[in-house]
Structure 1
Amino acid sequence: MSDVNADSWVSSGHRPMGFPEFVVVIAAIMALNPLAMDMMLPALPNIGAAFHIPVANHLQLVLSTFLIGFGAGQFVMGPLSDRFGRRPVLLGGMTVYAIASVLAVAAPSFETLLLARALQGLGTSATRVIATSIVRDCYVGRRMASVMSLAMMVFIAVPVIAPSFGQAVLLVTQWRGIFIALMLYGLLALAWTVLRLPETLPESERKSLAPRDVLDAFRQTLTNRQTIGYAVAAGFVMGSLFAFVFCAQQVFTGIYHLGHYFPLAFAAIAAGTAIAGFANARLVGRLGMRVISHGALVGYALVAGLMLLTASLHMLPLWLFMVLSALMMFSFGMMIANFTALAMEPQGHIAGTASSLYGSITTLFGIVVGMTIGQSFDGTLLPFSTGFFLCTLAALAVVAVVEKGRLFQPHHRAGA
């Protein structure tokens, strides 16, 4: 599409909103997921006290069950939206999210709360997958890149500030107030979507849900060396990040005694991911995805090794942990988008289904790894730093196998 008509909608003769509003709507939809995940961090001790949870590590389930619902939902959201259109699946997912928030507010037991969290994750899997599909439906070329860059700025920034939002809610009400805030935000996003966002996938471009066709797309995704290799590598990397998030409240309040200042420390560290997003956007066109992501992975390994060494020697004060964690987040930000792009590179003909499967693999794989590390937390940083280092070595080994030992090469075709 040329720059002259880059603002026009591909799949609809009418145009209910201009480019700025479209970007804001997409960003608002995508923000549902990180808000629901990270606003809960300051509330974990309160939830434990309310439901009399004796083991602090069990509170990590409030986060991990959300991610399980998110990861599992991605298996089906892409194929469903390719068959029935974007709007019904997106609106259905956002409705499930709103209902789950109500269930969480009224949850009489910890088990009911976990069910609500899994349903919230399931609902946000639709927003994450379909928001990206809508952008791909509506825009191409530089205009598409512009929308995704602006929307991803919000998606990256939300985890930085979400714990502070959660802490602010706790200052005026109890932990259930966080779910009320999430419900109100979800209803606002749902109403905006219903009123302003049209269907973007025309009938003529919808795909079959026949088991044979879906399974064939899954087979093509799972048997491609580059796609499955980078999915597994991303899973290891995300596992270390999930472990950090699962343990963050216990580390900052239990080990470093930051109390209510924990969200500020978390924000300072998470800002590294946002900085990496800006840096990657400026450098990837010049250096290439492999050079940047492989370099970041090596840096990730060095940070992990240094953290493990200092934790083993009991020489990891708060300032050094903050620095190493910020470098970890920066390296993660330089890796993950490029790993995703490299995995999707051979899958243009089945992009929707491949994207769903990739998202599910990386999320569910990362949850298993992250929960294993998180549940081993023993009041010290040694379990996390050990898991972080092993995950990094595993990711580096997988990438080396995928690229047949030729790391940092900007242009070559990985074997399929």
Structure 2
Amino acid sequence: MSASIPSHSGPARPEQRPLGQRELIVLMAMLMSLQAFGIDAMLPALGDIARDLSAQGNDRQLVIGIYFLGAGIGALFPGALADRFGRRPILFISLVTYIGFSLACMFVPDFQSLLIMRFTQGLCTAGLSVLPAAVVRDQVGGDKMAKLMSLIMMTFLVVPLIAPAIGQVILMVAGWKAIFGFMAFMGIGVGAWAYFRMPETLAPENAQPIRPGAIARNMAQALSNRSAIGYVIGSSLVFGSLFGFLNSSQQLIAESFGMGDYFAFIFGGCVLGMVLANFLNSRIVERFGARRVSHAALFAFIVSASLQMWSASDGQQTVWEFLPLLSINMAMLGFVGANFSSIAMQPFFHIAGAASSIHTALRMTAGGALGALIGAAYDGTAFPLATAMVVCSIMTLCIVLFSEKGKLFTRPNG
């Protein structure tokens, strides 16, 4: 973990020490966490936003869902641009727009305007989700990439762990609009760090032309590879069920279970399982392989989701029955996420940006749309969410079996 990350465009600043892998992990995690904070810090405020801007029923969930949709569509573009112009310039465009639209959201006059701002923000800042995986793929591959992505995810998840608590404190002290101001403040801080410390990692010989035909071919290649596509679609399905929880979590935990005062702690406790899973994954994935670990976690997810559906089926489920099973499922996602992403990226070293773009676009767009549908099905119980988790995980198993030609728990060479 002490190796430095070279700059392919020459040293950015001669007086600086090279960026080491530990700093790379934290920096990539913080870049990714900007979007996560923009989602999770909003959760405690959804009730206040709905009241102040006259949003009806489950419409409050659109503050989250529309952001996912914008980020999914926007993810189509930054990877291909970064394959041509480099990772840094595209990253900083994303950071500037993140800051600008965060400030703009503070001054919206109505709920419709807020949704437009949130969609546009997600659209323009998608590079924050796309580029970290491309930067890592520039450096390493195979199970080593899975290990590094797990460490990044473990660090990244600290922000969703504490974001609802931060949002709740800001909400009590200054109101929901101040949460957007804090988002802009975070964007400035992380952006300054990246500007002064992150080198360009795209090797000149891997630069791709900006031609529609070339971009289309690269993206088509990233989607047509059988060994990769099952893991991309599978991620969309299982994380779609997670997005469904995010959309409905404030209503489910704060209102149905009557735990509004403890929402931030309960949400953070669920995310803690993902943090621990990513830490454990980083320790075992090089030994056992990304496929073996993630396939085992997927089966565990199916079992836990089935128990959740059974527990919620009579409409009398308590929060203490709901939380342990949800925590198990979120922990299993910790093993699935980084490993599925790494497996899907393995064949695409020379087009890592375009591959990361199209993969992220599919995951975010499909997952966000699925999450919105699951959230809209909220009926005051956890049953619709649990049912969706079971269906999505079984479908994921089927599509992974397709990618693996019917053989699970393998460990290919390389």
Q: Is the 8 A contact 1:291 1:410 kept in 2?
A: yes
The separation in 1 between residues aligned to 2:344 and 2:335, in whole angstroms, is 15
Q: Judge which range, 360-369 or 151-160, deviates more.
A: 151-160
Q: Is the 8 A contact 1:79 1:214 kept in 2?
A: yes
Match of 2:29 in 1: 27
Match of 1:217 in 2: 218
The answer for unaligned runs of 5 or more in structure 1 is none
Equivalent position amino acid for 2:52 in 1: A
Match of 1:256 in 2: 257
Match of 1:331 in 2: 332
Task: Give the match's secondary structure for 2:106.
Answer: helix
- Deviation of 1:46 (Å): 0.4
Equivalent position amino acid for 1:376 in 2: A
The answer for unaligned runs of 5 or more in structure 2 is none
The separation in 2 between residues aligned to 1:28 and 1:408, in whole angstroms, is 32
Equivalent position amino acid for 2:38 in 1: A
Q: Does residue 403 of structure 2 align to residue 402 of structure 1?
A: yes
Q: Does residue 48 of structure 2 align to residue 50 of structure 1?
A: no
- Deviation of 1:373 (Å): 1.0
Match of 2:7 in 1: 9
Matches within 5 A, 1:69-80: 69-80=70-81
Task: Give the match's secondary structure for 2:76.
Answer: helix
The separation in 1 between residues aligned to 2:148 and 2:235, in whole angstroms, is 24
Distance 1:323 1:143, change over 3 A: closer
Q: Is the 8 A contact 2:273 2:328 kept in 1?
A: yes
Distance 1:382 1:227, change over 3 A: same
- Deviation of 1:153 (Å): 2.8
Match of 1:241 in 2: 242
Distance 1:286 1:170, change over 3 A: same
Distance 1:88 1:279, change over 3 A: same
- Deviation of 1:150 (Å): 4.7
Q: Is the 8 A contact 1:217 1:353 kept in 2?
A: yes
Task: Give the match's secondary structure for 1:118.
Answer: helix
- Deviation of 1:151 (Å): 3.6
Q: Does residue 321 of structure 2 align to residue 320 of structure 1?
A: yes
Matches within 5 A, 1:54-65: 54-55=56-57, 57-65=58-66
Distance 1:298 1:139, change over 3 A: closer
Q: Deviations over 1:171-202 (max 9, x none)?
A: 21110010011111112223333444444446
Match of 1:170 in 2: 171
- Deviation of 1:312 (Å): 1.0
Q: Does residue 93 of structure 2 align to residue 67 of structure 1?
A: no
Q: Is the 8 A contact 1:101 1:180 kept in 2?
A: yes
Equivalent position amino acid for 2:32 in 1: M
Q: Judge which range, 6-15 or 112-121, deviates more.
A: 6-15
Q: Is the 8 A contact 1:293 1:339 kept in 2?
A: yes
Task: Give the match's secondary structure for 2:411.
Answer: coil
Q: Judge which range, 151-160 or 278-287, deviates more.
A: 151-160
Matches within 5 A, 1:37-116: 37-55=39-57, 57-116=58-117
Distance 1:318 1:58, change over 3 A: same
The separation in 2 between residues aligned to 1:4 and 1:408, in whole angstroms, is 31
Match of 1:179 in 2: 180
Match of 1:228 in 2: 229
TM-score by length of 2: 0.91
The separation in 1 between residues aligned to 2:2 and 2:393, in whole angstroms, is 45
Equivalent position amino acid for 1:124 in 2: T
The separation in 2 between residues aligned to 1:166 and 1:131, in whole angstroms, is 25
Q: Judge which range, 317-326 or 23-32, deviates more.
A: 23-32
Aligned residues with identical type, % of pairs: 36
TM-score by length of 1: 0.91
The separation in 2 between residues aligned to 1:37 and 1:160, in whole angstroms, is 12
The separation in 2 between residues aligned to 1:271 and 1:102, in whole angstroms, is 30
Distance 1:238 1:147, change over 3 A: closer
Equivalent position amino acid for 2:243 in 1: F
Equivalent position amino acid for 2:395 in 1: A
The separation in 1 between residues aligned to 2:34 and 2:352, in whole angstroms, is 23
Q: Is the 8 A contact 1:97 1:119 kept in 2?
A: no
Q: Deviations over 1:131-164 (max 9, x none)?
A: 3334455689999888755543321221111111
Equivalent position amino acid for 2:9 in 1: S
Q: Deviations over 1:201-257 (max 9, x none)?
A: 465542101111111112212221121111111111011110011111111011110
Equivalent position amino acid for 2:335 in 1: M
How many residue pairs get aligned? The number is 410
How well do the aligned residues superpose, as a CA RMSD in angstroms? 2.5
Task: Give the match's secondary structure for 1:94.
Answer: helix
The separation in 2 between residues aligned to 1:299 and 1:185, in whole angstroms, is 36
Distance 1:399 1:246, change over 3 A: same
Q: Is the 8 A contact 2:151 2:278 kept in 1?
A: no
Equivalent position amino acid for 1:366 in 2: G
Distance 1:395 1:190, change over 3 A: same
